[in-house]
Chain A
């Protein structure tokens, strides 16, 4: 009888673990299509003084780019050519990350003179 209850407990725990994994997968798939799984290396762009620093960033394929807003107002990261995607608002002292698949130019659509680019090493 003890073995039976132990088996039930193990089954319940196993089901719970599977359920958690599914939730995590769903959360990842909800994000922007430009975002891939989290890579091991992160390149940081600081938003400060109405500038992206560095404005021109070169990364290795699979790297994560992290934008941190250290400015005094809300900014965003928006693809520049056709504005196909945007980070949405990055409020003061918050950040947004992306694993780029391709090179792109971007701007802050709130303050359009703020521009930057990301180039992936080939």
Chain B
């Protein structure tokens, strides 16, 4: 169990480190910047991953606190996905795969593999701990990479609007973590 928490923390830190490095590199104008289609891909992928985690929690958990949190994650992130895809369609933008979305998907596969080995309270703790780490990483990505690099004003506006929601999810995750002993 300790190893899992260590892993989750390391994964969260890893994503933050990747994003920071990416930000520094883009600031130095030495590496590829994200285009709007790539940013749309990152936004949709990040939300899809949290929907997936929530759906797994709703299948595996019997804890009311965890289930309520997971249900909110599924509904809220699905709502953002719909708005992001509707906007992309309206703007004629096709989301394009890129290193950031690939990194997110890689992390998702590893986390889901870990979740599959857990049940009961061990799963609840792991799910909520991951939600804290994941939201911290995504908030940093949105603020430091996605918003500054987005060219289209409507796409940027959607990302700006999503920020308070993500911050709120992080607070909810931290509160749930304190209750799931």
Contact = CB atoms under 8 A, between A and B. Distances in A.
Given A72-B158, A110-B72, A113-B171, A49 B79 contact: no
Nearest to B76: A73
A50 B80 CA distance: 14
Contacts of A74: 75, 79
Interface of B is mostly: helix
A88 to B, nearest CB: 14
A12 interface: no
Contacts of B14: none
Contacts of B88: none
A92 interface: yes
Interface residues of B, number: 15
Nearest to B171: A113
B98 interface: no
A50 B75 contact: no
B132 to A, nearest CB: 16
A63 interface: no
Given A72-B80, A72-B83, A111 B161 contact: no
B118 interface: no
Nearest to A112: B172
B165 interface: yes
A80 interface: no
Contacts of A50: 164-165, 167-168
A49 B168 CA distance: 10
A6 to B, nearest CB: 56
For chain A, the bracket of interface size reads: 10 to 19
Contact of B79 (A72, A113, A114): A72
Contacts of A71: 161, 165
A73 B80 contact: yes
B162 interface: yes
Nearest to B166: A50
A70 to B, nearest CB: 9
Interface in A71-86: 71-74
A111 to B, nearest CB: 6
Contacts of B158: 72
B80 A111 contact: no
A40 B167 CA distance: 38
A73 B164 contact: no
B174 to A, nearest CB: 11
Q: Which 6 A-B pairs have the closest CB atoms?
A: A50-B164, A73-B79, A49-B164, A73-B76, A50-B168, A72-B161
Interface of A: 49-51, 71-74, 92, 110-111, 113-114
5 contacts: A73-B76, A92-B79, A111-B72, A111-B172, A113-B168
